[in-house]
Amino acid sequence: MNTRIFLTTLLAFSALFPLGAHAADPVATSTSGSKPFANVSRLRGDVYVTGKSGAPRKLQEGSSVYVGEQVKAAPNGEAVLKTADAGVVAVRPGAEFVMERFSAEGKSSDHQVVRLISGSLRIISGWIGKLNREEHRVVTPNATIGIRGTDHEPFVLPAEMATSQYRQGTYDKVNRGSTSLDANEASIAIDSGRVGFVRDPNAAGGRSRALMTLLLPVLLTKVPEFYVPGSFDQELDIYSENADALSLKQLERKTGHKEQTAQKAASAPHADSASTATALTSEPLASSNIGCTPHDIGNYWLARLDGAILQRDIRTILGLFSSDIVAKATVRSGTGVVTMEFERDEMVRSTLSSVASLKNYQQRRISKEANWAENETAVTCKQIVVKSVVIEQGLMNEKPYRFEALEEYVLEKRTGEWQAIKAHTTQR
C-alpha cells in the first residue's frame, strides 16, 4: 500500500514537472522581441495572453509565455506556468497579471517582478528567490509583496467581489516560508498559515482604520472564504515540498557547477503579531462625574481612549464611540488625498489589530483643545468638540514608522457617559 501511494505521488509530481524537462528556451523570442519566462505545464479551460500587438492568443499545454504579455484567465480557466528558474506561477480562474521583469541566467542579478492586476495567483519561488530575493516580488495596485523562499497566494480583491466582511484590496496567504506585505511605508511579515491584508485607499466608499494606523497592512485572524484550492493544487503541494532542492538542482545544471547561493538579504525579524480575537460587545460603561467643563471632559475622554488602545481594551473603546458614529479619515495616497468612511466595530477591530502588530509603539498628543459645540453651554452640557494633534510611531517589521494627524471628535453625553458621535482623522 505504501509503495502504491509513493508511486502515485511520484507519477503525479513527474507529470506536472518532468524531472528531465528544461525550462523555456532562453533564446527564443516572441514576435515583439520579448523573451519567454515560462511554459504552460497544466491547463484547464480558457486562458489567454495579449502582447504588444493587442491580439490575444489562447494558451495550450506546452505554450511559451513571454515577459510583458498580459495573462488573463476566463472564469473557467486555470493554468500552471513553469518558470525558467524552476518556480511556478499558477493562474487562478479570473486572474489577470503581467510578468513585467524576468531574468533567470543563474546570476545574482536574476529577477522576477509580477504585476498582479486582479484575482489570485499561487506562486512557488524558484532559484531567483535564493539568488536575489530582493528582486523577487509581486506588485499590486496598492501594495508590494516580497518573498523569503516561499509558496504563497497573492489575491487582489476587486470592487465587484468586495463585501462588508472582505474589503477591496490586496491579500496574501502564505503556504510555506514567509512573505512581507508592504504599503504606505509600513510592512508586516506573514508566516506560513497566515494571511495579510492591506486595504485599497482608492476604493469607492472604502473604509479604513482609525487614528494613526490608517491603511497599514494587518494580519487577519482567519483565512478568507474566497481562498479555495485550484484544480492542480494537490500536485502543486507535492512540488512545493521539493521546490527548493529541485530549483537548486536545475540551477546547478544551468551553471555547470555547484555553489552555495548566498542570499542578498537575511530574513527580517518578524514584528510582534499578537492578534485580537476578543468578541466585540457593546456593554455600557459606568458613568463618571467629571463636571461640565469642556477641557476636563476632553482630557478625560482622550485619556480613556489612549489607555484603552495601549491595553487592547476593546470593551472600553466600544463604550467611547456611539454605535451610530459617523467616522471619516482623510489620508494621502498615490493618487492624491482620499477621504473614507468606516463603521465603529470595524474601526475598533482594525485599530487594535494594527497596534498589536507593532513594536515599541508610542503615542504622543502634542496639542489638545475642547470647546462647546454650537448652541451648547455649561447649562445644557450635552455636546463638545475635541481637537488633538497626535504623533504615533514605532517599529513594524523592524522598520521605523511615524505618523502625524489631526483628530477631531464631537462628544455627546448619552446615558451619563460621553461618547463620540462623529470622528474625523486627517493625516498631516
Question: What are 232-275's pLDDT values in tens digits?
Answer: 999 999 999 889 888 998 999 888 766 554 444 333 333 333 33
CA within 13 Å, CB half, 179: 33
Residue 119's beta-bridge partner residues?
156
Give the Cα separation of 360 and 200 in Å (integer).
26
pLDDT, position 2: 37
A 10 A CB-CB count for 259 gives 10
Name the packing angle between helices 2-16 and 233-255 (round to 10°).
60
Domains of the chain, earliest start first: 13-255 (2.60.120.1440), 294-427 (3.10.450.50)
pLDDT digits (tens, 9 = 90+) for 53-80: 888 999 999 999 999 999 999 999 999 9
Spatial strand order in the sheet of 383-396: 336-342, 321-333, 417-427, 399-414, 383-396, 359-372
Angle between helices 344-356 and 294-310 (to 10 degrees): 60
pTM score of the predicted model: 0.61
Alpha-carbon Rg of the chain, whole angstroms? 26
Among 81, 71, 126, 119, residue whose Cα is nearest residue 103:
126
Residue 43 CA to residue 371 CA, distance in Å, equals: 66
Residue 117 pLDDT exceeds 90: yes
User: Which residues touch 63 (CB under 8 Å, ≥6 apart)?
Assistant: 39, 40
Q: In this structure, what C-alpha cell is assigned to residue 51?
A: 502582447
C-beta of residue 63 within 8 angstroms of C-beta of residue 42: no
Q: Pick the more confident residue, 394 or 355.
A: 394
Q: Where is pLDDT greater, at 272 or 132? A: 132
d(CA 133, CA 57): 32
**CA–CA separation, 119 and 152 (whole Å):** 14
Q: Is the pLDDT of residue 324 over 90?
A: no
Cα-Cα-Cα-Cα dihedral sign, residues 361, 408, 386, 406: positive
Does residue 334 register a pLDDT over 70? no
Neighbours of 198 (CB within 10 A): 26
Please say whether the beta carbons of 100 and 115 come within 8 A. Answer: yes
Neighbouring residues of 99: CB distance < 8 A, sequence distance ≥ 6: 37, 38, 65, 67, 68, 69, 71, 89, 112, 113, 114, 115
Task: Give tens-digit pLDDT for 196-218.
Answer: 999 887 764 444 334 435 567 88
Q: What is the pLDDT of residue 123?
A: 97
C-beta of residue 165 within 8 angstroms of C-beta of residue 196:
no
Mean pLDDT of the chain: 80
Q: Are strands 417-427 and 195-199 parallel, antiparallel or unpaired?
A: unpaired
Q: What is the pLDDT of residue 48?
A: 97
The predicted pLDDT at position 359 comes to 74
For the stretch 284-297, pLDDT in tens is 334 445 788 999 99
Residue 48 makes CB contacts below 8 A (sequence gap 6+) with 56, 57, 58, 59, 71, 72, 73, 74
Alpha-carbon gap, residue 181 to 217, rounded angstroms? 7
